[in-house]
Amino acid sequence: MSQRPSWQEPPTLAGQSTKGVTLGGVLLIVLVPLWIVVLTSLSTKGAINRAGGLVIWPDGITFEAYEEMLKGPTVRTALLVSLGITIIGTAISMVVSVLCAYGLSRSGSFGHRFILVLLIVTMFVSGGLIPTFLVVTGLGGYGQWWALILPGAVSVFNILILRSFYSSTAAELMDAARIDGASDWRILWSVILPTSRAVTAVIALFYAVGYWNSFFNVMLYMPTESEKWPLQYVLLTYVNRGVGMPGSVNAGFGMAHSQTAPLSLQMAVVVLTLVPLVIVYPFVQKHFRTGVLTGAIKG
């Protein structure tokens, strides 16, 4: 156990109690809704009726909602679409962001100050929704997969974080690599990226979560092509708007012969959208604090 610095006052009972109560309250705010959503998705129709809606306490557990949800092709296809968009989009975004950030971090690169200022200006001034829509559709993006990825493939904020980290990389390492005959590509691959795993993992997580949760571009560029919808737009259509999924016995929302309550199906779709993030986050969590703080402070 590390000793407390001499200049740091010992914690008081009131302070520790306040911290514990605050953290406990925040934890409850996060976990209670998640508990209700998961439990409702696993509840029977009778349990939901007795609870008058969302279920807070277990009263008959069943996986019928998940079986019915995965039985039809709608959710399975949407899940594959979301995974494809997330993987491909994150890869494209990371390649562009890393290359841009590395170029801007080298003070001797051509036009780096002008390009940096130009990028920062776009954080405060943009063309707007309608011009963006006209440009994408004018390029033939309406109804195309790339319209869900490329218009938002680059975040200037993420580029600035990467640039700040790359700028603080020890000059001795790069000078040694150049003496050994390494090119800029070799320095980026063998020196910069290995020393910036934390911030790279965090930025990749930012991009992946953004792609996984995105649905607005679907509303703009393929609102009627349900076979191309990602999972989040299916969730929006099925849960928020009360539209039934094609091929589901609950397509009418209230059919008497259905044994699975529509509410449990809605919550099952919500749970499905959370599962990939819950699986991935523990592998990135160890880098999260280090990456964000280091990328923000350095430089």
The pLDDT mean for the chain works out to 81
- Which pLDDT belongs to residue 202? 85
Tens digits of residue pLDDT in 254-270: 333 445 557 888 888 88
- Which pLDDT belongs to residue 109? 77
| Percent of the residues in the chain that have a pLDDT greater than 70, as a whole number | 85
Tens digits of residue pLDDT in 174-209: 778 788 787 878 888 888 888 888 888 889 988 998
Q: What is the C-alpha separation between 274 and 233, in angstroms, rounded? A: 14
| Average confidence (pLDDT) over 65-80 | 83
Tens digits of residue pLDDT in 136-150: 999 988 888 888 899
pLDDT at position 290 over 90: no
- Which pLDDT belongs to residue 299? 44
Kindly write down the DSSP assignment for every residue of 113-140, as one continuous string: HHHHHHHHHHHH----HHHHHHHHHHTT
| Average confidence (pLDDT) over 272-291 | 75
| Average confidence (pLDDT) over 290-297 | 52
- Which pLDDT belongs to residue 2? 58
Tens digits of residue pLDDT in 206-225: 899 899 988 888 888 888 77
pLDDT at position 291 over 70: no
pLDDT at position 6 over 70: no
- Which pLDDT belongs to residue 292? 53
According to the CATH classification, is domain 67-298 in 1.10.540.10?
no
| Average confidence (pLDDT) over 123-132 | 85
277 in Cβ contact with 212 (< 8 Å): yes
- Give the residue among 10, 80, 77 at the shortest CA–CA distance from 245: 77
Distance of CA 15 to CAs 8, 49, 67, 118, 250, Å? 14, 44, 49, 47, 52
**Residue 293 — very low, low, confident or very high, per pLDDT cuts 50/70/90?**
low
Helical H segments across the chain, by residue range: 13-41, 45-51, 64-71, 73-105, 112-124, 129-138, 156-167, 171-179, 184-187, 197-213, 216-221, 231-235, 262-297
